[in-house]
A and B are shown apart, each in its own frame.
Chain A
Amino acid sequence: MAVDDTAPLALSAGELPRTDALGVFTRPRPKAGWRGWVTTVDHKKVGIMYGAAALVFFLVGGFEALLIRAQLWAPRQTLLSADQYNQVYTMHGTTMVFLVVMPIGAAFANYLMPLQIGARDVAFPRINAFSFWAFLFGGLFLNTSWIFGGGADGGWFMYAPNSGVIYSASHGIDFWNLGLIITGIASLTGAVNLITTVINMRAPGMTLMKMPIFTWMTLVTQFLLLFAIPVITAAQFLLMFDRLFDANFFNVQQGANPLLWQHLFWVFGHPEVYLMILPAFGIVSDLLPVYSRKPIFGYTFIVFSGIAIGFMGWGVWAHHMFVSGIGPISVTVFSLTTMFIAVPTGVKILNWTATMVGGKLKFDTPMLFSIGLITMFTIGGLSGVSHSVAPSDTQQTDTYYIVAHFHYVLFGGAFLGFMGGFYFWWPKAFGYMLNEKVGKLNFWLMLIGFNLTFGPMHILGLQGMSRRIYTYDEGFGFTFWNKLATIGAFTLATSVAIFLFNIFYSYKKAKSANLACPDDPWDARTLEWISPNPTPEWNFDPIPVVTRVDDFWYRKYEETSDHRLVRIAATDEVIQRSDGKNVHLPSPSYWPIVTAFGLPIIAYGLIFTLWLCLIGGIITVAGIYGWALEPPDDPDAGHAHDDDHHLDPSDDHSAAELTEGDSAGIDADVVAKEMESVG
């Protein structure tokens, strides 16, 4: 596994006696096995858990997709009833957006971002763990709707008043509402945490404009989450009050405005689109230079176009509503802004292409996926621009053309990028390489399956086939293209199976052959590769000092005056080898999972019986207080100087700090004194 559980933590030797008057709660020690995962606050383990949970939800959402495609294989199929079909496509969309693409972005952000900026953990390790557990419990809660009377059935955007009790009497939409409020809390706390980390915890010399582009895109993404999530949360609270407590926000009989939901939803929903794609943009921006053996073309442009997308993403939401009757002026304005936002996106595509031009291209699997993203996203982007033309969009609305478009950007864009990221950083996280041959098969099958599934949908849409209708009649010319799409979907499923096979196959092979994982298999450029593979628990020892973009690369290579690269150091010389003995790491904690566990119980209570809310509320509040009163042997527990508690003079690890900060010894004395007096 990625983390060496036997690694000594400073606390086991150097902790101070517990003088905390309220310290009846002791913190768990790092453990091997499942308890180590449940109580972990390590950003790497949290990242891996995000990824694993998202992949499980990906299989669930993929199964729902296959049900849809099987139902549409031929006209007038009866595999799913109309009602079941509504539930399946709603849950497919919801799962893929909120429980797959967003958390995979969070998985990469959690695992890589601290490594890329040279930090040992995120700013608030326990909040990080809480974010994961809240996401997981929210996702599981949402999916339990299947056993409590059926899933949500209003489409992933849940337009009101169609989402009211009158039109959807089952509890599906309540589960959708409350489940997404919980995952929203997870995203929000995660955003606060990750933004703080990027802004405050960079290694010496790592200025903002020296950060790897993935970290930049993570920063933009988290800002989008920070401001987008509360809007959908507000909307979902309104819907919850309507559905569970008879409020009148979407009750048309009481003069409610149906556009209210659409506006609130898409004010969240369009930034959401960008926050799903930007992490993948960041990934390919870090991958392409590695396989082109060239620096990224126009680093500043890439960064600023990402920021521009982040800003402009807030001004285009109503292009989802061109047929809602929002008036000609609104339509014109949002048409124009939509055309404009294609510019920064086009800048990125240009930069990626220019990065490859003249490079020594190496077509390893991650590179293939990156090129896959560029080409497929370009197709999706072009059909997207065609939506900005309002008259044309009016024809395309609610047809399969839209379905084709957003799958090209979300699967062909985001997911292919994530796949490239998986293949690229797998050795970093797990200490073994994924098999290249299987990987290439994985890529080509996925690319073919993807185009076979979603390519024909452009044609179906332009022929007038509606989305969200459970079947179609013969004679419209839909049958052939639907059959093709269904074949494509199962090809895609096969490629996912091959990916999962590759994970286990490569692991077995690496284990049986006792292969040592190479530390820099791709001749990489960014800072995370400076630590050996798999990443040790302490990340860096010592914290590297950064001097330029692609710092790791320039520790290995130097440019001569005639612009040729000369190797100046072997990999072994630049990789950090350290036992991490002097590193203080935050202790694990029980409370994040406890606090998160109360949330779905509150949600069940809101749906079924309010008594459960009390129980869930008590668990969550107890969790928060347990959290706050935990002994402060954790960086995010204390302020001022008492968090220097690890500077115990009797502990040899303070010696290292003494050499660089000669006041540290005094600190320790002060702390010891203060502990006596205030304790």
Chain B
Amino acid sequence: MASVTVPVEHGSGEPGLGDLSTIDHGHETNTGISNTKLAMWLFLGSECLLFGGLITTYLIYKTPLPGQLGPQDGLFDIPFTSVSSFVLLMSSLTMVLSHSALEKGDYYRCRVWLGATALLGSLFISGQIYEFTAFVREGLGFTSSRFSSAFYVLTGFHGVHVTVGIIMLISTLLLSVRGKLPKEKAETLEIVGLYWHFVDVVWVIIFVVIYLIPEGVPA
């Protein structure tokens, strides 16, 4: 794609002074951080508290009542989930590669890596769906116990976040294919990436809390 790559400098040397426009020019804000990026950071800060509430809830309820199906019955297939966690973490790598390609103006690689990110994310979600169905077959329904409710809600919320991320990735990919994601707009991709890395980091915490913390510790 032939894109014009003329560097653009804005305004006079003193940012903001005498500026007639309130428009976010990306680098004319008071902080130098663009509005959109700052907003994404703030939103992610807020999301920490949402997941904080859900993770706390899970920690309180992680042992079911005696006699109910739970982690102590070897429910979790840790190797399987480790692989799907690895897949999700690798998607962060491809996300970075995609952004870096876009910054260099390599649109082809940008799209390839972007597609790979979406694909890896989808793979993770498929793994989660498989895991959920396996658990249900083993008798762990959403309403079975306090543990099952907490487990499905926490991992489900994360899954929804990943799904939203995949939709964002695919939308961005479509924009790129239609030539609407030029090098100068690399920040758009970076912001999608911020969200994507965030859901990955949250998964690392969830994976540790749910799968790796030794079972049998009383709540």
Contact = CB atoms under 8 A, between A and B. Distances in A.
B139 interface: no
A678 interface: yes
26 contacts: A22-B178, A123-B24, A123-B35, A124-B35, A188-B43, A195-B38, A196-B35, A200-B29, A201-B24, A204-B19, A226-B45, A226-B46, A227-B49, A230-B46, A230-B53, A241-B153, A248-B146, A639-B36, A640-B26, A642-B185, A656-B20, A660-B18, A661-B11, A663-B9, A674-B184, A678-B179
Contacts of B24: 123, 200-201, 635-636, 643
Contacts of B61: 248-249, 255-257
A21 B180 contact: yes
A660 B30 contact: no
A201 B157 CA distance: 34
A200 B146 CA distance: 45
Contact of B39 (A192, A255, A257, A545): A192
Nearest to B22: A120
Interface string B39-80: 100110111111011101100110011000000000000000
Contact of B2 (A234, A256, A677): A677
Q: Which 4 A-B pairs have the closest CB atoms?
A: A234-B53, A661-B11, A230-B50, A200-B29
A641 B182 CA distance: 11
Contacts of B12: 660-662
B33 interface: yes
Nearest to B174: A22
B17 to A, nearest CB: 5
A641 B22 contact: no
A584 interface: yes
B188 interface: yes
B8 A667 contact: yes
Nearest to A232: B53
B203 to A, nearest CB: 17
Contacts of A264: 53, 56-57
Contact of B50 (A234, A541, A646, A666): A234
B23 A635 contact: yes
A639 B39 CA distance: 13
A559 interface: no
A200 B33 contact: yes
Which of B1, B30, B142, B157 lies at the interface centre, i.e. has the most chain A CB atoms within 10 A of its CB?
B30
B22 A121 contact: yes
Nearest to B68: A254
Contact of B43 (A192, A639, A643, A673): A192
B72 to A, nearest CB: 15
B100 interface: no
Chain B contact-residue range equals 35 or more
A255 B22 CA distance: 55
Nearest to B187: A639
A72 interface: no
Contacts of B11: 660-661, 663-664
Given A254-B145, A543-B20, A640 B184 contact: yes
A430 to B, nearest CB: 23
Contact of A188 (B35, B46, B179, B185): B46
Interface string B179-217: 110101101100000000000000000000000000000
A235 B30 contact: no
B151 to A, nearest CB: 11
Interface string A642-673: 11101000000000110011111011001001
B20 A644 contact: no
A200 B50 CA distance: 25
A191 B9 contact: no
B60 to A, nearest CB: 6
Nearest to A677: B4
A463 interface: no
Contacts of A543: 18-20, 22
A178 B212 CA distance: 34
A635 B57 CA distance: 40
B10 interface: yes
Contact of B45 (A227, A235, A545): A227
A188 B6 CA distance: 38
B19 A667 contact: no
A119 B17 contact: no
Contacts of B21: 584, 646, 657
Interface string B140-153: 00110110111001
Interface residues of A, number: 77
B21 to A, nearest CB: 6
Nearest to A251: B146
Given A230-B46, A260-B57, A660-B19, A201 B142 contact: no
A405 interface: no
Contacts of B185: 638-640, 642
A238 interface: yes
A670 B8 contact: yes
Given A230-B46, A643-B25, A660-B11, A246 B19 contact: no
A247 interface: yes
B171 interface: yes
A191 B35 contact: no
Given A123-B24, A231-B53, A249-B149, A639 B42 contact: no
Q: Which interface residue of B38, B47, B49 has the most chain A CB atoms within 10 A?
A: B49
B22 A674 contact: no
A641 B142 contact: no
Contacts of B133: none
B22 A201 contact: yes
B36 A660 contact: no
B149 A248 contact: yes
Contacts of A679: 179
A388 interface: no
Contacts of B38: 195-196, 199-200
Contacts of A249: 57, 61, 146, 149-150, 153
Nearest to B66: A255
B46 A254 contact: no
A106 interface: no
B42 A191 contact: yes
Nearest to B153: A241
Contacts of B157: 237
Contacts of A227: 45-46, 49
A124 B40 CA distance: 12
Contacts of B29: 199-201
Contacts of B10: 641, 661, 663, 667
A235 B49 CA distance: 11
Given A226-B46, A238-B153, A641-B184, A254 B23 contact: no
Given A234-B50, A234-B57, A677-B4, 13 more contacts: A196-B39, A201-B35, A234-B52, A241-B149, A247-B153, A255-B145, A543-B22, A661-B19, A663-B11, A666-B8, A667-B10, A673-B4, A678-B1
Contact of B60 (A191, A202, A260, A628): A260
B2, B35, B188: which has the most chain A beta carbons within 10 Å?
B35
A249 B61 CA distance: 8
A358 to B, nearest CB: 36
Given A201-B30, A674-B182, A248 B145 contact: yes
Contacts of B126: none
B39 A644 contact: no
A257 B60 contact: yes
Given A254-B65, A641-B10, A678 B53 contact: no
Contacts of A677: 2-4, 179
Contacts of B31: 199-200
> Which of A123, A195, A636 has the largest count of B CB atoms less than 10 A from its CB?
A123
